[in-house]
Amino acid sequence: QQTVEALGLFYPPDPASLTFSTLGGNVAENAGGPRAVKYGVTRDYVLGIEAVLPGGEKITTGRKVVKDVVGYDLTRLLVGSEGTLAFFTRILLRLLPYPPATGTLLALFSSREQAGEAVAAIIHSRVLPTAIEFVDRGALDAVKKYAGVEMGNQAQALLLIEVDGEEELVPRLLEKVAEVCQQTGGTTRVAKDQAEAQELWLARRAISPAIAQIAPTKINEDIVVPRSELPRALARIEALEEKYGLPIICFGHAGDGNIHVNIMTDKKDPEKWAKAQKAVREVFAITLELGGTLSGEHGVGITKAPYLSMELSPRVMELLKGIKRAFDPKNLLNPGKMGLD
């Protein structure tokens, strides 16, 4: 990203791991990040892949073109395949012009649901921010205690919102977003400069490691629901805290309906661990009932494999396993992942 920015270009995907993850890993996972609400995810920026199959054959998918409908889209199939189909040796990426200006706004709310309502209202207002990040009270407390950063005073939830565009447009976008947040019960303030904006984003990226200090074990799910269902999803997940007696901390990319649900437990405590497993299944059930999906960017791997049958039919699973066999008949690549064995 830094290299192309020096050329006036922009690679939008920005996962929390951007300072240490690799492009190959991002492509294998179809990584997302805060900017997905406006710019999409890694898959939207991969034009082609050079890959090596388990038998040693090299294949090339895609071209340096805008349109390509020759055959099945193997490029998009390989993106997000979690290392189960091929080794990537070259990746052809699409870049955009770098946005001339950005602006950052903080909106504080008295409840999770109120913040969720604001997200839906922002999208309905026809303003498309670069990012709309949701942070609940538990996450705010963790960042203050373990990272030494105060983001939201006594707010029960906040939205960290970024807009971009031409210099003269950004202030108007911020004004419109602030107006919508205030109409849904929020109080707002705009970052006075890029230094303050960067501090807020550094605090946002510190959330995951900060909340890991709260309990011995953190179960981090990354559900996605339609944005109109965010208030209901957040309210029903909050009710699970009382039901199971476990802290459940929520934060994430609310602008695209992707919430990281963190169930704080202790794997060495059989009672707490059993409650956490029940809570996970209920979170997934709520998600699917509201028209969502079990994972927006973290993928399936090992831990979500037992839950795939909640979302995917037996016939769909057969088709996925058939694709795996076509690429890797001996099951050599990343066996045991994605429920494909």
Assess whether 170 and 221 both reside in one domain: yes
Q: Note whether residue 249 is domain-resident.
A: yes
Assess whether 117 and 258 both reside in one domain: yes
pLDDT digits (tens, 9 = 90+) for 71-112: 999 999 999 999 999 999 999 999 999 999 999 999 999 999
Q: Residue 217's pLDDT is what?
A: 97
Assess whether 278 and 335 both reside in one domain: no
Q: Residue 150's pLDDT is what?
A: 81
Q: Residue 94's pLDDT is what?
A: 97
Assess whether 80 and 227 both reside in one domain: no
DSSP codes joined into one string, 235-272: HHHHHHHHHHT--EEEEEEGGGTEEEEEEEE-TT-HHH
Q: Note whether residue 335 is domain-resident.
A: yes
Q: Note whether residue 302 is domain-resident.
A: no
Q: Note whether residue 50 is domain-resident.
A: yes
DSSP codes joined into one string, 62-121: E-SSS---SSS-HHHHHTT-TTSS-EEEEEEE--EEPPSEEEEEEEEESSHHHHHHHHHH
Q: Note whether residue 208 is domain-resident.
A: yes
Assess whether 142 and 156 both reside in one domain: yes
Q: Rounded mean pLDDT of 54-67? A: 95
Taking residue 90's Cβ as centre, other Cβ atoms within 10 Å add up to 11
pLDDT digits (tens, 9 = 90+) for 125-169: 989 999 999 999 999 999 998 878 788 778 999 999 999 999 999
Q: Residue 290's pLDDT is what?
A: 98
Three-class DSSP category at 143 = helix
Q: Residue 152's pLDDT is what?
A: 76
Q: Note whether residue 295 is domain-resident.
A: no
| pLDDT category of residue 16 using cuts at 50, 70 and 90 | confident
Assess whether 74 and 146 both reside in one domain: no
Assess whether 285 and 147 both reside in one domain: yes
| pLDDT category of residue 308 using cuts at 50, 70 and 90 | very high
Assess whether 211 and 245 both reside in one domain: yes
Residue 337 exposure: Cα atoms within 13 Å on the Cβ side: 18
| Domain encompassing residue 204 | 101-290
Q: Residue 17's pLDDT is what?
A: 86
Three-class DSSP category at 47 = strand
Can you give the CATH number for the domain in which 64 is found?
A: 3.30.465.10
Do the beta carbons of residue 89 and residue 52 sit within 8 Å? yes
Separation CA 162–CA 192 (nearest Å): 13
Assess whether 160 and 36 both reside in one domain: no
Q: Residue 243's pLDDT is what?
A: 97
| pLDDT category of residue 182 using cuts at 50, 70 and 90 | very high
Assess whether 26 and 170 both reside in one domain: no
Can you give the CATH number for the domain in which 255 is found?
A: 3.40.462.10
pTM of this prediction? Answer: 0.93
Return mean pLDDT, the chain.
95
Give the type of residue at 233. A
Distance of CA 283 to the CA centre of its chain: 16
Q: Note whether residue 237 is domain-resident.
A: yes
